[in-house]
Copies of this chain bind each other. A is one copy, B any other.
């Protein structure tokens, strides 16, 4: 079975943090989960606050739970708030409906996992997440 490797996950984390420094973002936290939603790698920059591990994880886990990016879940939360709220309560890691959580796919389009970033604005978090996935030669 092709699973995301620790090497790939660390490449994503390192590149996402580097993108944050390049863009001058606030301190970031970055998580990579496998397709089952289990953590493979995580890093929290100095100055990134206490709940960031859980927020990053809930962005990535939510994307895997519903099969779309956390940005799409954010849109869904505006149209159907009670559905997203109910789904969040069913997911052990919760769901954060805001950009910064993206699915990770291989060259065949198969799902490998998800990355979640938090610390700056949701739009900027997502930029860092996408840069991380690209650096590993994978697709969102």
Interface of A toward B, CB cutoff 8 Å: 1-3, 5-6, 9-10, 34-55, 58, 64-67, 74, 77-78, 80-92, 94-98, 106, 110-112, 122
Complex A-B: 29 CB contacts under 8 Å: A1-B110, A1-B112, A2-B2, A10-B43, A36-B36, A36-B38, A37-B50, A39-B44, A40-B43, A41-B43, A41-B44, A42-B42, A49-B66, A49-B67, A50-B64, A50-B65, A51-B91, A54-B90, A55-B87, A55-B90, A58-B86, A74-B82, A81-B82, A83-B96, A83-B98, A85-B85, A87-B96, A88-B89, A90-B94
Dominant secondary structure of chain A at its interface with chain B: mixed
